[in-house]
Amino acid sequence: MSSDFENVAQRLRDAYVTSAVPPLRDSLSPTDASGAYRVQSINTRFWQESGRRIVGRKIGLTAKAVQAQLGVDQPDFGVLFDDMAIPDGGTLDPAAVIQPKAEAEVALVLARDFDNLKATITDVINAVAYALPAIEIVDSRIADWKITFADTVADNGSSAFFVLGTEPKLLAGLDLRTCGMALEVDGNVASLGAGVACLGHPLNAAAWLARTLSAAGTPLRAGDIVLTGALGPMVPIVPGNRITAAIGGLGTCGFRLGERA
């Protein structure tokens, strides 16, 4: 069985440089969380050994409607690597993605190590240094985004790149539950949402992640970035698009998807 997981991990790695692959159902049942995270872990270790550095985690499937669609009752997570960061206002090479989409999120940066099996929102508040507006550029190595829960988990949470704002905000005084979000593509509103769309509160999502990673023996560390999950629907993007996210109380951030050569 371990060889099966290694083979799936290889297929996903190859997709980064070739093209998207069919769904993984021949090797992973749609709700096989344990097997999917094993595949994710294999590739995480591979990439670390290749020189990539972990800088945090992303949380996915924070919307109840999406969970229901994939037949699960919890979020998932993926790993953020240093080379996934795009500067605010920067340009993403379209050759680096396959079928990208953008979503606006609240990002948290930790002030200290966070190892707590019973983490609550209060514990999150005490562990966070500051918050930032963020855009996650999600992508799928699974053809046509025909994903199951296991597909997206194995595929590192369908992660690709991320953009962070440049003006940190302390949590004190922020209302991340009712804050509004607007994601614009080329100046046109493409997605609207609010903090409550993210598991009822972005800090709920962060507490879930802290508990989950602590139970797995891989807790969050000081300086880690946590992308807490989408505040509204994700939006397909194409070369030439300029994408900007505005989140109430946090400010804005953005990037451009470059033209194809």
When pLDDT is cut at 50, 70 and 90, the band that residue 57 belongs to is very high
Domain assignment of residue 37, given as a range: 2-257
Report the interhelical angle of 2-15 vs 33-49 (nearest 10°).
Answer: 60
Q: What was the pLDDT predicted at 198? A: 95
* Percentage of the chain modeled with pLDDT above 90: 90
Q: Which residues contact 153 (CB under 8 A, 6 or more apart)?
A: 33, 36, 37, 39, 40, 76, 78
Q: What was the pLDDT predicted at 64? A: 80
195 vs 8: CA distance, rounded Å: 35
Q: How many domains does the chain have?
A: 1
Q: CATH number of the domain that 40 lies in?
A: 3.90.850.10
pLDDT tens figures, 198-231: 999 999 999 999 999 999 999 999 999 999 999 9
pTM: 0.96
DSSP code, position 125: H
Tell me which of 64-78, 120-134, 243-257 is least confident: 64-78
